[in-house]
Amino acid sequence: MSSINIKDIAKLAGVGVSTVSRVINNHPDVKKETRVKIQDIIEKNNYIPNNSARNLKMLASNNIGIIVKGSFNPFFSKIVERIERSISNENYLLTLHYNSSCEKDDSEILIEQIKEKRLNGVIYLGGNFDNKSNNYLKLLNIPLVIASANISDDVDKSGFSSVGIDNIDSAFKAVDYLCKMGHKNIGLLSSGFSDSNNRNLRTFGYEKALLKNGISINIDYYRDGYYTFESGYEMAKDLLNKNSEITAIFSTSDIIAVGAAKYILSTNRQIPNDVSIIGFDGLEYGEFFHPSISTVAQPIEEIADNAVELLFRQINDMESLNEHIKLKTNLIIRDSIASVN
C-alpha cells in the first residue's frame, strides 16, 4: 500500500497541507474555490486519510467505544444496535470491538482501545468484573458504563456507572410463577461456569422461590451446561431421564430452554401438558418456537438507553456522580406453562 498521502494531495492542488487538512475536516475557513478544487483532487485520486495519524494527533475524537464480551450473543447484538442508533444521533462515532474469549484480559483491551482511538467514553457489554479488572479500571479516568455484566460484590464501584437487572428477583418471579401453578418438582438448567455470576444469582432466585413456596431444594434437579441449543437438549435429556417426576423446568437462558423443549417434544411428551418450561432473556427464539416458550424478558431497549444516558452524563460533566441502575425484567407468559392438578 504505497498510497497517496496528504502531502501529495497538497502538491497536486498547489496548496499547503494545512489547507487540505481543513477541507478533509470540514473546517469553515477555506475559500470555496480552493475547497472544491481540493475535494476534486481527493476524489480523483481516491485519497483516504490515514486514521492512525489522525488519532495520534487528535486529543479527543468524538468516538465512543463499545466492547462486547462473548462474541456472538444475539442478546448483545440487540443492545448494540440500539446504542448505535442513539450514539449517532448525538453526532458521536462508534467503535465496536468484539473480543472472543481467547483474547487477552478484558480491561487491557479497553485501555488499548482508549489510547488508540482517543475514545471519549466506553460502554462495556457483558463479561465479568472482579477486583483485578478493577485495578485497571481505576487508571482509566474516562467515562465508562458497564452494562449487562457480572460485577463481583467486592468491586469498588466508584470508578464507573453500570446498568443491569436484578437477577435474583427475576429468577424468583419466574419460579414463583411455576410454583403458583402447582409445580413442585422443578428442574434448573443453567449456562454454567462461563457465566458464573449470573448463574449463581439466578440459582439463588430459584431457590428463594422454592423456599417461599415450601418446596425443599433438590440438588438432583440442577444441571450446568453451555449457552447452546444442543446443551439445553442434552441437559433436559439427562434431567428428565433421571427424574421423571419433574413437571417444570426453569432455564437461565432462552437458547437452553429451546433446546430443552426440543428434547421434550422429540420424546413425544407434550409442552406444557407433560412438562412446563420457562426461559430467560426474551429473545425471539422462544417466541417462534412452537409452542411459544415463556420467558423472563430483559428490558433490552432500556438497558441500551440507560447505558447511553449514563455515559453522556459523564462525558458532559466529568464530576457527575456514578450511578448503578438495576432495571426490572418482564415475565412473559406464553404457551409453555400449564397448571398441575
The binding site for DNA (CB under 7 A) comprises 5-7, 14-19, 21-22, 24-25, 28-35, 47, 49-50, 53-54, 56-59
Burial class (CB in 10 A: 0-12, 13-18, 19+), 144: buried
Alpha helices in 213-335 (DSSP H): 229-242, 254-266, 284-288, 300-316
Counting every residue written for the chain, the total comes to 341
102 binds, options DNA, its own copies, none, Cβ within 5 to 8 A by partner type: its own copies
Our CB check for its own copies shows the closer of 97 and 237 to be 97
Min. distance of Cβ 103 from DNA in angstroms? 19
84 binds, options DNA, its own copies, none, Cβ within 5 to 8 A by partner type: its own copies
Coil, helix or strand for 2? coil
31 binds, options DNA, its own copies, none, Cβ within 5 to 8 A by partner type: DNA
Task: Tell me the CB-side half-sphere exposure of residue 199, using CA atoms within 13 A.
Answer: 17
Min. distance of Cβ 54 from DNA in angstroms? 4
Min. distance of Cβ 71 from its own copies in angstroms? 7
Our CB check for DNA shows the closer of 19 and 191 to be 19
Contacts of 43 (CB under 8 A, 6+ apart): none
Q: By C-alpha distance, which of 53, 61, 54, 49 is closest to 118?
A: 61
Dmax of the chain from CA atoms? 88
Min. distance of Cβ 124 from its own copies in angstroms? 16
Is the Cα torsion angle 271, 196, 83, 306 positive or negative in sign?
Answer: positive
Our CB check for DNA shows the closer of 24 and 327 to be 24
- 293, 336 in Cβ contact below 8 A? yes
**What one-letter code names the amino acid at 119?**
L
The angle formed by the CA atoms of residues 39, 28 and 4, to the nearest 5 degrees, is 30
Cell numbers 419433574 label which residue?
246
Return the number of other C-beta atoms located less than 10 Å from residue 231's C-beta.
21
32 binds, options its own copies, DNA, none, Cβ within 5 to 8 A by partner type: DNA
Our CB check for DNA shows the closer of 49 and 291 to be 49
Min. distance of Cβ 77 from its own copies in angstroms? 4
Our CB check for its own copies shows the closer of 70 and 205 to be 70
Which chain residues interact with its own copies by CB under 8 A? 1, 3, 46, 48, 50-53, 55-56, 71-72, 74, 77, 80-81, 84, 88, 96-98, 100, 102, 108, 111-112, 114-118, 136, 139-142, 228-230, 233, 258-259, 261-262, 265-266, 284-285, 287-290
Min. distance of Cβ 316 from DNA in angstroms? 19
Indicate the pairing of strand 128-129 with strand 121-125.
Answer: unpaired
Our CB check for DNA shows the closer of 54 and 334 to be 54
Question: Distance (Å, rounded) from C-alpha 288 to C-alpha 333?
Answer: 14
98 binds, options DNA, its own copies, none, Cβ within 5 to 8 A by partner type: its own copies
Strand partners, 325: 163
88 binds, options DNA, its own copies, none, Cβ within 5 to 8 A by partner type: its own copies
Cell numbers 482501545 label which residue?
113
Min. distance of Cβ 322 from its own copies in angstroms? 18
258 binds, options DNA, its own copies, none, Cβ within 5 to 8 A by partner type: its own copies
Our CB check for DNA shows the closer of 22 and 184 to be 22
Q: By C-alpha distance, which of 250, 172, 182 is closest to 205?
A: 172
Our CB check for its own copies shows the closer of 290 and 326 to be 290
Min. distance of Cβ 25 from DNA in angstroms? 5
